[in-house]
Amino acid sequence: MESVKKTINRRDFLKASALAGGGLMLSFSWLAGCKPTTEEVSKLPKEWFELNSYIKIGDNGLVTLMAPNPEFGSNVKTSLPMMLAEELDIDWKNVKVEQADFFPERFDRQFTGGSLAMQMAWKPLRTAGATARHMLIQAAAQTWKVPVSEITTKDGVLHHKGSGKEAGYGEMASQAAKLEVPKEVPLKKVGDFKIIGNSKRNVEGMNIVTGKPLFTLDYKQDGMLIAMIAHPPAFGQKVKSVDATSVKSMPGIKDVFTIKTLSDDYERNSFDTTSFTEMIVLVGNSTWEVMNAKKALKAEWEKSPESTVTVAGWGGGKQSVRIPAGLESTEGHQAQMAEMAKKPGKALRRDGNPEQVFKTAKKVIERTYTAPFLAHNAMEPVNCFAHVTADKAVIVAPIQAPELISQTLAARLGLPKDKIHIKLARMGGGFGQRAYGHHLVEAAVISQKLQAPVKLVYTREDDMTYGIYRPAYTATYKAALDENNNLIAYQVKAGGIPESPLGFAQNRFPAGAVDNYLAEEWMIDSNITIGAFRAPRSNFLGAVEQSFLDEVAELAGKDPIEFRLELLERAKNKPVGKENDYNPERYAGVLKLVRDKSNWKQTKNGVYRGVSAYFCHNTYVAQVIDLTMQENKPVVEKVYAAVDCGVVVNPDAATNMSEGGIIDGIGNALYGEMTFQAGVPQKNNFHTYRMIRHSEAPKAIEVHFVKNQEDPTGLGEPLFPPIFAALANALYKATGQREYTQPFLQGKKQLV
């Protein structure tokens, strides 16, 4: 059964067409469709960066696309315009891209995350380009008094073969802008693409390598002050008192005070995660002066009481979330999870009678896997600029999901949402952390109190100890084989602190390939705040599931790839259940591709191989790792990756994203770990929180994409989860020991 694809009807996409600046301006929305009045058109701002999302064709033929999605290194700012340019039939060198500000009235999905950008934009952006081209053809036909069917385009030029007439798009743009927007236009066939599928350089590449101001940390404004925060050193604590007398007299320091970011009765949304709602703020003239003052600050902290907050979920539902009191520790977490793992969980899916089959099976194997909290550690620490006045707020911030924090800002500042202007800066990494906008609220509250423009800057220690971690997880897997070594029962029971990794994944492989299947979950409340981390939940489940399947294959005496292919063949021809969320044929396709590209069975002496495959975020990935052992340490020689993400829009960018996910996954698998003692994070900078180093990256990576005409899906997240298991399975071949606890080098000398 194929996975559901969410698409947007072309008729519902187009929003407006208007004459502006002597050219054609085509504004569009993801979800709504309407045509503006003449009065609305006359009020369009002269500076285009203030519009939400549009195509503008100037009288010189230049095409401008406002990129609505925030950019944090996934290269959507290049790949999305390629879709537009393809259908518009424009020369790529005549395309200009600008980052849009946040404008929810004009654009309903300004969000980067979930590997959804390409999938969600595929039809809308192509339709926008095709519509503009159609209107330009109509304008040329009317001007030249010839049939529309006789007009052709190529590289931004209109042609009429019969008369020999031709004109650049810019010459027809004003005439085209007067026409009605067609309700529907044909789109190109995949086989006719000229831009999509051909690599284009990052449109901001030159700005990046030459150090042009792109990030919020680069942003400056006259009269701007620098602010830093001091939050409690432990989760489960709050501010008791602060003695700022001596600090206020330090050079460059303007003020020291406490702020409260959320009111106690505020109804949060799912992304209103904030670790500490009350904190101490230090404000001064420069970063250096404020950092020195922060080191000298004297504050007292006390334990926080238990509390409950109301969180509004997707679709309008609400839930009460308990935040327990106490100072938690890793040792206590491990004991709690071990105890919960012994108890029955909440059943999310049940096929057949697995409990009975386990009692009579020929062979039964059971394994438990654990993983720690992880910090995001983006290259750019959290920061935000804010200037709040009596009647408006201007925010400049690295933020993945501005829509999700705009309501919080409005409620806290006492301003209407339309008076809050969020300018989207390029992010120096995100990995899910920037989906949470607490830093916008903090900066705005500070600015409002001071009545001055403020740039809030976190130190690396602030960033790493503030929270919003990947949760700590554990999962127990159980499998049963019959006398012919066929998999006849399969069970997974997973949970975590404070969420389960299993939600939304109970219908993934090998569900649907086993007659008797059970998926259960549980969770433990915590005051340590968590949030999305690259490939949420899948980053654990993909790792441990694929490690377990390797061990089951070994018990069955079967090649690990062939074992998986047998199960997928069963899921294809005789599926169990009707809720399976993967396509067995596409899943098998990446396994076969990586098998062939890696010459799977042609092993070399001293080289140890591991394989894994996983489906998440609508993309199928299979990976093979080759590693050697040097001085008792693993060295990754090569990684082969096979990926089915549908049409590959920008191959070089897709390869880069895939390589980044692989390297990030290897680093986290080997070293990633955040531990706690009495609520205090035990690692606060890179001297203790080990990250992968350049010399430890794979010596070579081959990425192979399945060629098909399926709508494109994402790449930022799907390459991350399975690489953990490929590495674990290779390490087993090298050492004879299975990996059940992340990180794999835990307890060994890591900081060498």
The CATH class that applies to domain 216-307+382-457 reads alpha beta
Nearest to 751 by CA among 701, 683, 652, 698: 683
Tell me if 671 sits within 8 A of 691, measured CB to CB: yes
Average pLDDT rounded to a whole number, residues 702-725: 96
pLDDT in tens, 432-464: 899 999 999 999 999 999 999 999 999 999 999
Instruction: Classify residue 636 as left (phi > 0), alpha (psi -120 to 50) or beta.
Output: beta
Q: Which two tokens stand for residue 722?
A: 């399975």
pLDDT in tens, 329-368: 999 999 999 999 999 999 999 999 999 999 999 999 999 9
Residue ranges, comma separated, of all CATH 3.30.365.10 domains in the chain are 10-209, 216-307+382-457, 344-373+469-735
- Percent of the chain residues topping a pLDDT of 70: 91
pLDDT in tens, 203-246: 999 999 999 999 999 999 999 999 999 999 999 999 999 999 98
Nearest to 382 by CA among 458, 491, 486, 480: 458
Tell me if 721 sits within 8 A of 541, measured CB to CB: yes
Higher pLDDT, 410 or 319: 410
3-class SS shares of the chain: helix, strand, coil, % to 5:
30, 25, 40
Which residue bears the tokens 């396994």? 591
Position 748 scores a pLDDT of 55
The CATH class that applies to domain 344-373+469-735 reads alpha beta
Instruction: Tell me, letter by letter, the H, E, C secondary structure of 576-630.
Output: CCCCCCCCHHHHHHHHHHHHHHCCCCCCCCCCEEEEEEEEECCEEEEEEEEEEEE
Confidence class of residue 114 from pLDDT cuts 50, 70 and 90? confident
Query: Which H or E element spans position 40?
Result: helix 38-42
Angle at 497 between CA 494 and CA 501, to 5 degrees: 35
pLDDT in tens, 503-525: 889 999 999 999 999 999 999 99
pLDDT in tens, 665-699: 999 999 999 999 999 999 999 999 999 999 999 99
Q: Which two tokens stand for residue 177?
A: 């802008």
The CATH class that applies to domain 10-209 reads alpha beta
What residues pair up with 229 in beta bridges, in sequence order?
281
Tell me if 560 sits within 8 A of 549, measured CB to CB: yes
Q: In a 3-state reduction of DSSP, which class is residue 668?
A: helix
Query: Which H or E element spans position 672?
Result: none
Whole-angstrom distance, CA of residue 714 vs CA of residue 99 = 21
Average pLDDT rounded to a whole number, residues 589-606: 96
> DSSP for 166-194?
EEEHHHHHHHHHTSPPPS------GGG-S
pLDDT in tens, 136-171: 999 999 999 999 999 999 999 999 999 999 999 988
Whole-angstrom distance, CA of residue 133 vs CA of residue 369 = 55
